[in-house]
Structure 1
Amino acid sequence: MRYKTTIDGTVYGFADLKDLLAKATPERSGDQLAGVAAEGPVERLAAQMALADLPLKAFLAEALIPVETDEVSRLIMERHDKAAFAPISSLTVGEFREWLLRAETAQRQLEAVTFGLTPEMVAAVSKIMRLQDLISVASKREVVTRFRSTIGLKGRLSTRNQPNHPTDDSHGIAASAIDGLLMGSGDAVIGVNPATDTADDYIRIVSLLDELRARLSIPTQTCCLGHVTTAMKAIAAKAPVDLVFQSIAGSQKANEGFGVSLSLLKEAHEAVRSLGRGAIDASLMYFETGQGAALSADANFGVDQQTMEARAYAVAREFSPLLVNTVVGFIGPEYLFNGKQIIRAGLEDHFCGKLLGLPMGVDVCYTNHADADQEDMDALLTLLCAANVNFVITVPGADDVMLNYQSLAHHDAVYCRETLKRPPAPEFERWLLDIGLIDGAGRLLEAPPKLAGYLADARLLGA
């Protein structure tokens, strides 16, 4: 056993770094399903104690997945910045936690060490942190991205307006998008998960969304969340593609399961930039992740699901994305069993993404067969606002009629604006004021004087 600790005279040993990280992870059903979880709370505590004493340098000496066979592992090692790591290189994981929580460790210090951190380091420290620790540190880290709106400014909360439709009907998508806009949702992106994945449908959807955006002069961006290869076909046809979307994971094999590689993502990034739809420095990629994705593809290699999730963030930050979000409860109770596990996972993912320099959002969600409900989502949303999350996803009535899972409602965005005092992106906030949808205090108005004209204009869409 390479790593050991003693509790009340009992010695607990852990075979390697992979085993230590897995056993130190707070309880979750996915690790139990994978057979890597601690046997109980005492072994978990022993692993956390051993992990706290582990030097951060150990993560540079032992790859969880061999670099010879995994391009994500190679990317992590190649992108590690020794100079950025130097200020914290002498610390253990436990000392790193204390450094993160110090009052004098603020935005400047966190930003300076970003590329000195590996996903495994941030996953490790998250495992020995309480929820309030994850919130406290993440709230200090501001990651700002820009396209037509500025996302991630401290004290603000952006939203993705998700107008999905079971058959990708244009009238249904347009109506749902307008429904979200009436509630002030959509400053991060108006993004549709298509029920199909053909180039023709993709082009129709992005054209519809772009016409809606242009006619209503909305300072936001639009996206069809089809596969990256479908997006590239649409780009080749000169369709109005603002953002290229792709689901990603933390190993080469898992990404191959999604039908992508680092080289393909690079090609897509270059293709969308060639359209010139944003400023030269605009961020043009949108990635989604989720704990359990690698395990569900039999591509976790014995690594716990939260560490695998953090490794996906190394892939994301390679392309300077506008948006990244974990779809925290979407895969199901096999991976995150109940509301408690979903809440913990959402805060872990946000924390790890922010430390790695990503514009992190969360799809606050659960499946209908999970032991969770909307009150759990209320709690997670409120905690994420305290943690300075960049954006969340909202749908009509919190019920996604195409993907068949429970998310946040557009009304929840109103709660965040009015009760938690989290206004949207400044450009979008000015637009809401200009059309009379909110008042000067950010409160939603029932009968905005200018809105009737905008909606009449929206009816001219070729939906």
Structure 2
Amino acid sequence: MKLKTQLLGQIYQFKDIKDVFAKANEEKSGDRLAGIAAETVQERIAAKQVLSVMTLEEIRNHPLIPPEEDEVSRIIDESIDENIYREIKGWTVADLREYILDEQNQSSDLLRISKGLSSEMIAAVTKLMSNLDLVYAANKIEVVSECNITIGQKGRLASRLQPNHPTDSVDGILASLQEGLSYGVGDAVVGINPVDDSVESVKRILHATHEFLTAWEIPAQNCVLAHVTTQMKAIEQGAPADMIFQSIAGTEKANLSFGISAALLDEAQDMIQRMGTSTGPQRLYFETGQGSELSAEAHHGVDQMTLESRNYGFARRYQPFIINTVVGFIGPEYLYDAKQVIRAGLEDHFMGKMHGLSMGVDVCYTNHIKADQNDIENLGVLLAAAGVNFVIATPMGDDCMLNYQSLSYHDIAALRETLNRRPAPQFEAWLEKMGIMEDGRLTPKAGDPTIFAKRR
């Protein structure tokens, strides 16, 4: 395996495949914090050059984290379709990029070969792609998923309604929920981050949201984003949950720091299939984000973008209804500014879709990152153009519980109208029935939550 190249008269020698992967990555403050980033632009280009001629077989034969040491590595390797892999194992990473970007190869072609790819192979090709490459390629891939409703169809943009409240007040949550619904938000999921990760709090919120959705015959899904074990206890005690949620990571050690394992998620999946209130068949919801493995000191010297891809390889085992990355949430230690946040959002979205997942993005930032709302709106437009399955929306783009900035309810409406995207079909039919939407556009009635104060 070739690990050196000459560029402008200088020879660049890399230690191993892990070193090539890290230095070929676009600039990320997290990689620099870990001490694995390229020192110069020239070194980054040299690493990309070495990576481009590496074969898929070489990547598989030189695992960044050996399967015998890591559960996630084993799951990723065991998921590879050996017949498809044998067809493409001689391809270089550059060959894979050309195949993905070839206009003749569409969604079914890309999803077929993805079954023969490991997460590291998908990460490798992502490192060779420009932002526009990532938009163009992701937009070709259609991943449709089904829980109470179906999302992911071409031309559709779903949204998670996030009516968080700083004290878990049910009245406050429902008020924010009603406002979001009045703007046509909430088809992907009504997902609440609880302040109190207790069984009683989770039960109270699940009952309230389920009762409201049922009373108004709203075709959507409810979920409370507590730890998976808390949700499981709430469900055992009769709480009506459409899905089970959990944050995941790209290494076994990082997952253990979250208090999870594949065995636990297997148990959760079995429970929600038996005891969940949704029609299914897909009833799991995962969340990820670049940098979590490094923050848990569980990155094994691997760059954060490759580790993020491994999240999706782990998630692929469960075929969740939805999964989203949260870009810009952890802080500037991992994504320093708007440029890095935008790049990470496009990378994550493409990699998730390339794994065959119903991919969403929390387009967000914290106030100590060098970014502002204009930057986030830019990323929202890019992701909508890239065919993102769903994005997250909070009241006025400001989460009053988690204290970070995201897209607003208004932003979802603007993205749909500007880029000719519509809500999920069943949800759109309900919006039309309520008079909130007509022919794919919001009506003057939209944005008025008092419509829910009047019983039909």
- TM (normalized to structure 1)? 0.96
For 1:71, the aligned partner's letter is E
Report SS of the residue matched to 2:115: helix
Equivalent runs, 1:403-414 vs 2, <5 Å: 403-414=402-413
- CA shift for structure 1 position 174: 0.6
- 2:312 alignment partner in structure 1: 313
- 2:262 alignment partner in structure 1: 262
Q: Does 1:143 align with 2:143?
A: yes
- 1:437 alignment partner in structure 2: 436
- Structure 2: how far apart are the matches of 1:172 and 1:57? 54
- TM (normalized to structure 2)? 0.98
- 2:52 alignment partner in structure 1: 52
- 1:324 alignment partner in structure 2: 323
- 2:6 alignment partner in structure 1: 6
Q: CA RMSD in A?
A: 1.5
- 1:123 alignment partner in structure 2: 123
- Structure 1: how far apart are the matches of 2:111 and 2:78? 19
With over 3 angstroms needed to count, the CA separation of the structure-2 counterparts of 1:448 and 1:103, relative to structure 1, is: closer
Contact 1:34-1:302 within 8 A present in 2 as well: yes
Report SS of the residue matched to 1:288: strand
With over 3 angstroms needed to count, the CA separation of the structure-2 counterparts of 1:91 and 1:448, relative to structure 1, is: closer
Contact 2:243-2:276 within 8 A present in 1 as well: no
Report SS of the residue matched to 1:246: strand
With over 3 angstroms needed to count, the CA separation of the structure-2 counterparts of 1:449 and 1:320, relative to structure 1, is: closer
- 1:244 alignment partner in structure 2: 244
- Structure 2: how far apart are the matches of 1:20 and 1:5? 11
Contact 2:5-2:12 within 8 A present in 1 as well: yes
Contact 1:2-1:13 within 8 A present in 2 as well: no
- Structure 2: how far apart are the matches of 1:448 and 1:357? 34
- 1:354 alignment partner in structure 2: 353
- 2:19 alignment partner in structure 1: 19
Runs (4+) off by over 4 Å: 448-453
Residues 55-109 of structure 1, C-alpha deviations (whole Å, 9 max, x = no match) = 0111210111121221001111111111122332221001110111111111121
- CA shift for structure 1 position 271: 0.6
With over 3 angstroms needed to count, the CA separation of the structure-2 counterparts of 1:448 and 1:389, relative to structure 1, is: closer
- CA shift for structure 1 position 452: 5.5
Contact 1:283-1:320 within 8 A present in 2 as well: yes
For 1:43, the aligned partner's letter is E
- 1:294 alignment partner in structure 2: 293
- CA shift for structure 1 position 2: 5.8
Contact 1:2-1:14 within 8 A present in 2 as well: no
Report SS of the residue matched to 1:68: helix
- 2:334 alignment partner in structure 1: 335
With over 3 angstroms needed to count, the CA separation of the structure-2 counterparts of 1:141 and 1:346, relative to structure 1, is: same
- CA shift for structure 1 position 449: 13
Report SS of the residue matched to 1:286: strand
- 1:456 alignment partner in structure 2: 454
- CA shift for structure 1 position 456: 2.8
Q: Does 1:447 align with 2:445?
A: yes
With over 3 angstroms needed to count, the CA separation of the structure-2 counterparts of 1:183 and 1:448, relative to structure 1, is: closer
Contact 2:179-2:447 within 8 A present in 1 as well: no
Report SS of the residue matched to 1:333: coil
- 2:415 alignment partner in structure 1: 416
- Structure 2: how far apart are the matches of 1:29 and 1:14? 20
Equivalent runs, 1:371-410 vs 2, <5 Å: 371-410=370-409
For 1:19, the aligned partner's letter is D
Report SS of the residue matched to 2:108: helix
- CA shift for structure 1 position 276: 5.0
For 1:301, the aligned partner's letter is H
Q: Does 1:132 align with 2:132?
A: yes
Contact 1:436-1:449 within 8 A present in 2 as well: no
- Structure 2: how far apart are the matches of 1:257 and 1:21? 25
- 2:92 alignment partner in structure 1: 92
- Structure 2: how far apart are the matches of 1:137 and 1:211? 40
Contact 2:2-2:54 within 8 A present in 1 as well: no
Task: Kindly tell me the number of residue pairs found equivalent between the two proteins.
Answer: 456
- 2:62 alignment partner in structure 1: 62
Contact 1:250-1:308 within 8 A present in 2 as well: yes
For 1:397, the aligned partner's letter is M
- Structure 1: how far apart are the matches of 2:253 and 2:450? 51
